[in-house]
Amino acid sequence: MEKKLRKVVFPLFLLCWVWTLGCKPKKEEKASRISATEEGIIKDSQPSTHQNRWVVVQDGDSTRQKYQEGGITYFESLLVKEKRIYNTFYPLIQDAFLFEDKFYLKTRFPLDYSGEIEFTFPEYPDYVLTKIGDQAYQLVINNALDLNHVLFDLHYLPSETDSLVRTDYSFTHVVFEE
C-alpha cells in the first residue's frame, strides 16, 4: 500500500513543484508591475487594482477608469485624448425583497457625483421611487408577482461644474434566476 502511495504522491508533488517554478514572473516583469501600480496607471491594457479601488488602464490615446469594491464595478468611464466619452454608474443594492405583490429595493451610489441621476423602469411602469439620502433611493414596484429581474434605465445629467458627461444607459438587476 505504501509503495502505491509513493508512486502516486511523488509524481504529483514533482508536477506541482515544476509548475510553480514555471509560473513565477521574472524579476524584471515583477519590478515593472510594481512601478506601474505605484504610478496608478497601467499601460498596454494590463489592468491592476489599486488600494483606493480605482483601476486605470491606458492604451494609446484612450484611458479607461473603473471603481470597484469587492470585485463589483460601480463606475466606468472612457477618456480619449483626455476628453470624456462616456461614464456609467452602477448602484450598490443594499436590500431587495418581495413581499406579497410588491418588490422593495434600497440602493445607493458609493461614489460622489455632482449631477442628477434619474431612473425609469420600462418593464414595470407601476412603481414609486423615493430619494432617501444623498445618493440613496428606495424603489417599490407594485404588481410584481412575476418579477425575476429589474431593468433600470438610468440617465445622468451633469451639473455645470461636472467633469462627467450626460449618459443614458440600461442595466439589469437579477432578482431570481430561472
The CATH fold of domain 92-174: Immunoglobulin-like (2.60.40)
Q: How far apart are CA 56 and CA 63, in angstroms?
A: 7
How does DSSP assign 23-45, residue by residue?
Answer: HSPPHHHHHHHHHHHHHT-EETT
Give the pLDDT of residue 20: 41
The set of residues, in sequence order, having a beta carbon less than 8 Å from that of 81 and lying 6+ positions away, is 61
Q: Is 95 helix (H, G, I), strand (E, B) or coil?
A: strand
Query: What is the band of 171 on the pLDDT scale with cuts at 50, 70, 90?
Result: confident
Task: For the chain, give the percent of residues with pLDDT over 90.
Answer: 42
- Whether 110 and 67 have beta carbons less than 8 Å apart is answered as yes
Q: Where are the domains of the chain?
A: 1-39, 40-90, 92-174
Cell of 118: 434619474
Dihedral (Cα; 175, 55, 156, 78), 10-degree rounding: -120
Is this model's pTM higher than 0.85 or not?
no
Question: What pLDDT digit, counting tens, does each position of 41-92 carry?
Answer: 444 444 444 557 899 999 999 999 999 988 889 999 999 999 999 999 899 9
156, pLDDT greater than 50: yes
Residue with cell 514533482: 14
